[in-house]
Structure 1
Amino acid sequence: MNVRRWRTRAATTVAATAVITTAMSATTASGAASTAPVQTRIEAGAYATAAARQQAGSAALAGVDYRTWQRDVAAVIGTARPYIEQRTSAAPSGRKLAIVLDIDNTSLETDFHFFWEYPTPAVKPVLDLARYAHSRGVDVFFVTARPGIVQAPTAHNLRAVGYPVTGLYVRDLPDLFEEVSRYKTEKRGEIEAMGYTVIANIGNRPTDLVGGHAEKTFKLPDYDGRLS
């Protein structure tokens, strides 16, 4: 993600964190109902709304069409699924496999929604791929340039829309002084150091993908930086 853009968003996010935390607490306090129906309602409502809604958020200002973006994302993910199937079929028994996902406009539709639309809906093709990989024994990690202050609401958002979350890496204070690409490379290296083979790394910016520590990369569209 573009660092300057995230600085602007981070200032807004800090102001919104209290609101989001309150929403999370209310969800937790409601407790008695099963989480599965709630998750299903969130997903169904989010996807139906996204398909029918007028474009909003910073993507509209950048001139990125929602339906075109969805089509272009689906085309990339369409090549990733058979690779995941083949790679997991060929993996030796007991081998720890992982995929690494960026978050903004890779896992979540960040630029197509305002910050108060919480939880941010999942990018449906990526969600389906993550679930498919997880069903085949692959652990799912998220490495994002988001600052550590929003780690809890980010984790809650990912789980609320249905992602399996093995691990979430956000930028703590020392990481904020590093180039995003170097930070993300280091985190993939840490995942490998835990004994994983990162079979796929998926993101929408070059900084998500460079630096190695992944067998294969899949780049989603960012339209020359118009999406964060």
Structure 2
Amino acid sequence: MKKIATTLGMLTLCSSFSSQADTILGLYAGAQGWNMETEGGYSRDGDNRDFNFEDETKGSFYVAFEHPIPLIPNIKLQKTEMDTQGDITLEQQFDFGVQTFTTGSTLNTDVSLSSTDAILYYEFFDNDLISFDFGVNIKYLEGELLVVDTDQPTRTGYEDFSGPVPMLYSKLQLGLPFTGFGAFVEGSYLSIDDHSLTDYQAAITYSLMENLALDVTFQAGYRAFTLELEDLDDIYSDLEFKGVFAGIEVHF
């Protein structure tokens, strides 16, 4: 009888510890589909040209790990693609790459841009009603800009840029108990010298599944990313990517 009681006690203790570990440790994975509109333009000398960009549907993916260890930050990794295409008929001369494009030329552009975020953050509140995170985001940008003269396809201009950008990061999340609904605002921001970058999103969430093993949450919201560069690898830009998104987040 003592052996049976001891065994039951150990099983209860293990079950209690497992439940507690699931509460204080968290692994999150999410994916979003972003209906992205692009506005603005770029140049290599500060005399930017605004292109007529096409709307695109792009993806964003992330994973995050949270833990209860003091002083050691939580971590979130996120990847976002922002490739797009556009065109313009020049009203004045445009120099880009090693080419000079004359007034009246019709140009096509290919913009290949990706953002990789490594976010280190602390939780200052974390409950069913409110949670607030604050930290830093080391955002690594990679961009390739191609311009082609439609009348003379061999005339092309090409520039690229890349590098890490340290940004402040914060997230505020609110919940409505017993409804399954919630909301969050999340953003990274930097303004230094003449560079200005912002990346924020706001969304309504709804819990599709919630149990000890797995939580699944639906997200629907709006995201905007602005990229104003002043001579980063000889690139100047005033680009804005914005639009609605929908996504799914899984919490293990």
Q: Which has the larger radius of gyration?
A: 2
* TM norm structure 2: 0.27
Larger RCO, structure (CA 8 Å, separation 6 or more): 1
More strand per residue? 2
More helix per residue? 1
* TM norm structure 1: 0.29
